[in-house]
Amino acid sequence: MFMKKVIVGISGGVDSAVAALLLKKTGYDVEGLFMRNWDSMLNNDTLGNPNFQENICPQEQDYNDALKTCEILGIKLHRVDFIKEYWDYVFTYFLEELKKGRTPNPDLLCNKFIKFDLFKKEAKRLGADLIATGHYAKVKDNTLYKAKDQNKDQTYFLADITKDQLKDVLFPLGDLTKPEVRKIALENNLNVATKKDSTGICFIGERHYQEFIKNYLKPNPGPIINVSTGEVIGTHTGLMNYTIGQRRNVGLSGDTERHYVCGKNVEKNILYVEIGSDEYLYSDACTLDNLNIMRELPKNLTAKFRYRGEEVPIIIESITESEIKIKYPSKAKSVTPGQACVFYDKDECLGCGFIKDVYKDGQKLWYLC
């Protein structure tokens, strides 16, 4: 009997390890492929810094963990470098968006250009009939659906891949919860069963964000202005260091009230903050560009504006091949230029667009880029 060959993206974490285990137990011919997407030596903070304590770079540790996992599973592990491609397609975009004062999400670009494009092509070159990853999502008939574990569902990060990219893709963890995945790993004595999940932006890792970014973008301090009064109330360290909705580490002292970052003006290098109220964070409409729509959008649908954000009912006001304007009458908080707006029809993910302009009561929010 012919066994289909599946190449699994093995990251050195528990999710991809259990994905490979389940596929092997199902009867597939399984091999692993580890992707190296970032050169840690590009991080200037690791070079010539006497305070940098790291015996082995995290990515090499992940590779060693992946090797051990594949040894336990009795499968072959391949390795491929996509460092240049990641720089060209993901990291350069990340920096350019920061320069514009926007808030990019590199995970969506990594999935689109690296994991479900270059990785898939490399897997096919190695003879794969199918590819698999440890994402929490479901795919059926080239259609993307939410995972059983709503807390871990990753369709938000997968929304920019196309239906064609979903061909020959398996998500073995789609019907499992994270605790179930941990339990399976422990029961099968996998070396990564209790390994901590990676968090944050992959190429930054555990490093301090501002220290990392200043290696690539020169800090440009400027005024912090109270958006409601126009008063200069402080000095920011560079607009790329702040996100819309941020409440901590804004850099203002001597005031006990909470501060909310609610806008940026790149041309004037201004950071807008509201004190004691989040009123300026709410909006009720936005325009989207750089669209990836997997099928015709229905009349009744919902959207998420950030991974951990609330899913809200939306109305499509206008739509063209290049831009969509939507309304969300119940209002949403911290809708941010550069972030993805992901569409859902119940559990089906319909694709996404990237937030361009944000509106409230029919007026464009002047304090957002």
Q: Is residue 42 scored above 80 in pLDDT?
A: no
The stretch 303-315 carries a mean pLDDT of 96
The stretch 23-36 carries a mean pLDDT of 97
Q: Which of 205, 199, 204 is nearest to 215 (CA)?
A: 204
Percent of the chain scored above 90 by pLDDT?
A: 83
Q: Is the pTM of this model over 0.75?
A: yes
Task: Decide: 325 and 287 in contact? Cβ < 8 Å.
Answer: yes
> How confident is the model at residue 1, as a pLDDT?
52
Q: Is residue 250 scored above 50 in pLDDT?
A: yes
The number of helix segments (H) and strand segments (E) in the chain equals 9, 18
Q: Is residue 7 scored above 80 in pLDDT?
A: yes
Question: Percent helix, strand, coil in the chain (nearest 5)?
Answer: 25, 30, 45
Active-site residue among 70, 110, 286, 352? Answer: 110
> How confident is the model at residue 51, as a pLDDT?
39
How far apart CA 16 and CA 43 sit, in angstroms, is 26
> How confident is the model at residue 245, as a pLDDT?
94
Active-site residue among 57, 70, 202, 341? Answer: 202
> How confident is the model at residue 50, as a pLDDT?
37
pLDDT digits 0-9 by tens, 154-207 = 999 999 999 999 999 999 999 999 999 999 999 999 999 999 988 767 676 666
H/E run at residue 290: strand 282-293
Is 286 catalytic? The answer is no
Domains of the chain in start order, with CATH, are: 5-187 (3.40.50.620), 219-277 (2.30.30.280), 281-364 (2.40.30.10)
Is 352 catalytic? The answer is no
Q: DSSP readout, 78-98?
A: EEEE-HHHHIIIIIHHHHHHH
Q: What are phi and psi of 320, to 5 degrees?
A: -130, 180
